[in-house]
Amino acid sequence: MVSKRFFLKRLLLLVPVLFGVATLVFAILHLSPGDPAKVIAGQRATAEQVAAVRTELGLNDPIWVQYGRYLFDIVTLNLGDSYIVRKGVPVLTILRARLPVTLELALYGQLLGILFGIPLGVLSAVKQDTITDHLTRVGALTGISVPIYWSGPLLILLFAQFLGLLPASGRIASAYDVPVYTGLITLDSLVYALSGGGFGAFQSAISHMLLPAAVIGVYSMALISRMMRSSMLEVVRQDYMRTARAKGQGAKITIMKHGFRNATIPVITVIGIQFGTLLGGAVLTETVFGIGGIGTLLVNAIEVGDYPLVQGTVLVFAFLFTLVNLGVDLTYSYLDPRIEQ
């Protein structure tokens, strides 16, 4: 059971967290050197032009006035317009187009992580201290240790350049112009295929998704399988497992029915928390694979000094992260009501 009170309490806690993030982002951007007006006006601009831009953007106002205006804008869900990356386009509009890209990548990564991580973890626990166990554990450790900016290019080298099996970058071949419904390219191209556009675009989208999803999926798979293994080992030693075996129940049923279900509880938490980390991993993956999600967007915005876009992207990132954590907390208290207090 999840009480409403607990739910509301957690929801209210989001407010100070987001306020803190907003303030921190504002402070960091305004303390760092560089004049955004100059960035917008460019290298060829005269001092008067720069001054005109400063006035127009309100950068001449005292810092606390700017801060107040900034907070007010956030509360009214106005994240401002981009300075440079997409000149004059509202930050929310930009994020709305880019966010699904990152979410899709993280989702597929997570999916691969779960599909491979859980069976490997169970296998490893059941066959504890055998060669299978050792191999799985070393594999998992390697998966956690290999950085994305190394494994990514390596996979591109192998699958795109040497074998020519998969594309090196992007989300779909440029020949396809699939209408955007959800922003999730695999879904959109499937809808497009089902509405008579042919399955070529869908195939292309899937083949583009494989490598980047595998790269982030490996990390999450490694973590999940390790968690699954230790949790499973704990459960296997419980009294009720011995009882089940003593009843003469078969080993497979014992493990799957009594062991597995109970062992998944902590794993689900890990999966939830892991999803937040995956969003971060997606930033690196996007850069390596030339995918334009909010990761690439953020890097680009920081490079050119696009204040509103950096602020907006970080805020949305933080919001998602806290939201996922809230979800994890709620799930946890639902699965184990003792947590609630």
Partner 1 sequence: MPRDSSVNRRSFLKAAGGAAAAATLAGCAADPDETTSGSDGGAGDGGSNATDGGDGSDGGSGGDVLTYARGNDSGTLDPQNTTSGEDVKVTNQLYDQLIMFKPGETSLRKGLATDWSLDGTTTTLTLREGVTFHNGEEFTAADVVATYNRFVNPDYEHYPGDDYTSAYGPFTLGNWIEEVTTDGEYKVTMQMTQKYAPFLRNLAMFAASILSKKAIEEKGTDLKSEPVGTGPFQFEGWDTSNQRIRLSANDDYWGDAPQVGEVVFTAVAQNSTRAQTLDSGGADIIDGIGAQASKVVSNSSNAELVEKAGINVGYMAFNMAKVEEFQDKKVRQAISYAIDTKAIVDTIYKGIAEQASQPIPSNVMGYNDDLSPYGQDLDKAQSLLEEAGYGDGFSFELATFKNPRAYNPSPIQAAQTVKSNLQEVGIEVSINQQSFNPFLDYTSAGKHDACFLGWMTDNADPDNFFYALLHPGISTDDVPDGQDYVGFDTEDFNTLNVAAWANTDYMTLVEDAQTTYDEATRKEKYNQAAQLAHDEAPWVFIDHAKELRGVANGVEGFTLAPISGPFLNLVSLN
Min. distance of Cβ 82 from partner 1 in angstroms? 8
Q: Compute the least distance from the CB of residue 110 to partner 1, in Å.
A: 14
CA-CA-CA-CA torsion sign (42, 46, 50, 55): negative
Residues 111-170 that bind partner 1 (CB under 8 A): 153, 156-157, 160-161, 164-170
Q: Which is nearer to partner 1, 227 or 294 (CB)?
A: 294
Distance CA 296, CA 201 (A): 23
What distance in Å separates the CA atoms of residue 144 and residue 118, rounded to the nearest whole number? 16
Identify which of 41, 28, 125 has the alpha carbon closest to the alpha carbon of residue 83. 41
Q: How far is the CB of 53 from partner 1 (least distance, A)?
A: 5
Tell me the C-alpha distance between 313 and 319, whole Å: 10
CB of 118 to partner 1, least distance (A): 21
Q: Which is nearer to partner 1, 125 or 316 (CB)?
A: 316
303-332: contacts with partner 1 (CB under 8 A): 303-305, 327, 330
Q: Which of 22, 91, 99, 283 binds partner 1 (CB under 8 A)?
A: 99
Q: Binding-site residue total for partner 1 (CB under 8 A)?
A: 92
Q: Binding of partner 1 at residue 77 (CB under 8 A)? A: no
Given 12, 15, 16, 43, the residue binding partner 1 (CB under 8 A): 43
CA 131, CA 141: separation in Å to the nearest integer? Answer: 15
Q: How far is the CB of 279 from partner 1 (least distance, A)?
A: 13
Cα angle value 121/122/125 (rounded, 5°): 85
By CB under 8 A, name the one of 21, 29, 70, 98 that touches partner 1: 98
Q: Does 229 bind partner 1 (CB under 8 A)?
A: no
Judged by CB under 8 A, the chain residues 12 through 41 that form the site for partner 1 are 32-35, 38-41
Do the Cβ atoms of 247 and 264 come closer than 8 Å? no
Give the ranges where 76-192 is alpha helix by DSSP (H).
91-126, 131-145, 148-155, 185-192
Query: Contact, 22 vs 74, CB < 8 A?
Result: yes
The tokens describing 171, both together, are 């989300």
Residue 287 binds partner 1 (CB under 8 A): yes
- As measured in angstroms, the least distance from the Cβ of 72 to partner 1 is 21
Query: Residue 24 or residue 89: which is nearer to partner 1 going by CB?
Result: 89
Give the whole-angstrom CA distance, residue 323 versus residue 292: 23
Q: Are 301 and 310 in contact (CB under 8 A)?
A: yes
Quote the tokens at residue 205: 């989208």
Q: Which of residues 159-218 bind partner 1 (CB under 8 A)?
A: 160-161, 164-185, 192, 197-201, 203-204, 207
Nearer Cβ to partner 1 (43/145): 43
